Chains A and B, each alone.
Chain A
Amino acid sequence: DIQMTQSPASLSASLGETVTIECLASEDIYSNLAWYQQKPGKSPQLLIYYANSLNDGVPSRFSGSGSGTQYSLKINSLQSEDVSIYFCQQNYDSPYTFGAGTKLELK
């Protein structure tokens, strides 16, 4: 199985700050990487697919980048509604595996 190592596990940032979350795959996943946001008590929601494509309706302050085994999610100008857990997921090979999540809080 492809292992997804996500970092950091938790992150505290101030409003307006820029934050970056990293995801490392145990092998090349050829940009088949998605990012999800899960707000407290809610279902995950798709933010980014194919490493850098923004899903419909997602604010442009979210962006994804990376290739090979290394990927990142960047949030510019942090807003209060961005407090969530963020997960990466590889959809290159079955079983489709997730990172352990990054809990983003406001400082």
Chain B
Amino acid sequence: QVQLQQSGAELAKPGSSVKISCKASGYTFTSYAMHWIKQTTGQALEWTGYIAPGSGGTKYNEKFKGKATLTVDKSSSTAYMQLSSLTPVDTAVYYCARGRGHYFDYWGQGVMVTVSS
């Protein structure tokens, strides 16, 4: 069965970076894009971007360019999102989600990123 297993919660200081992971199993990793979605405590969902694991090609929401960097390790079927220059506004739950077209049929359990001094 398809599973997306994300890394654990992160507590980071303002100005620092974090790199969160999403390990895929149960399907051919290179056949589906991996999307990343931010959910703030107010429940709003924002699409951050996606990466095509086969080619490494990426597409970002303009709002997250310079903030998020998406990469993959095909050998371990793992996708990564690095968030840089963190501010309290980046505090949120971040999900990875498998793309079917540009909707999302499987989601990871989410990673809580808290930015606080």
Contacts and interface: CB of A to CB of B under 8 A. Distances in A.
Interface of A: 32, 34, 36, 43-46, 49, 55, 85, 87, 89, 91-92, 94-98, 100-101
Given A43-B107, A46-B104, A46-B105, A87 B61 contact: no
Contacts of B103: 34, 46, 49, 89, 91, 96
Nearest to B110: A43
Contacts of B47: 94-98
B63 to A, nearest CB: 7
Interface of B: 35, 43-47, 59, 61-63, 95, 100-110
A29 to B, nearest CB: 11
Nearest to A48: B103
Q: Which of B35, B43, B95, B109 has the largest number of chain A CB atoms within 10 A? A: B43
Nearest to B43: A101
Contacts of A91: 101-103
B44 A100 contact: yes
Given A45-B107, A98-B44, 14 more contacts: A34-B104, A43-B109, A44-B95, A46-B105, A49-B101, A49-B103, A91-B101, A91-B102, A94-B61, A95-B61, A96-B35, A96-B103, A97-B47, A101-B45
A97 to B, nearest CB: 7
A7 to B, nearest CB: 15
A53 B35 CA distance: 21
Given A34-B103, A46-B105, A98 B62 contact: no
